[in-house]
Amino acid sequence: PGAKAPKLVTEEMIKSMEPGSVVVDIAIDQGGIFETTDRITTHDNPTYEKHGVVHYAVANMPGAVPRTSTLALTNV
């Protein structure tokens, strides 16, 4: 907990993906798992494109749906 996330997806892996593919960096709060994640995005502007691949890197993703997140996390 609290440690920086390892980079599990290399830039070469991203480059090999089909144009228009989408990746979601679920570990952005810990620095991200993609070598190509170079910024944190927001709920207002959630994506950017790099090497033809759409990157979603919103920190605190559950914050977009707080009530639903609370219900889901308390009823595990």
**Is 8 exposed, middle or buried, given 0-12, 13-18 or 19+ CB atoms closer than 10 A?**
exposed
- pLDDT at site 76: 67
- pLDDT at site 71: 86
Give me the sheet containing 53-56, strands edge to edge.
22-24, 53-56, 47-50
Residue found by looking up tokens 């996330």 in the block: 5
- pLDDT at site 75: 75
pLDDT 10s per residue in the chain (76 long)?
A: 678 999 999 999 999 999 999 999 989 999 999 999 999 999 899 999 999 999 999 998 777 788 888 888 887 6
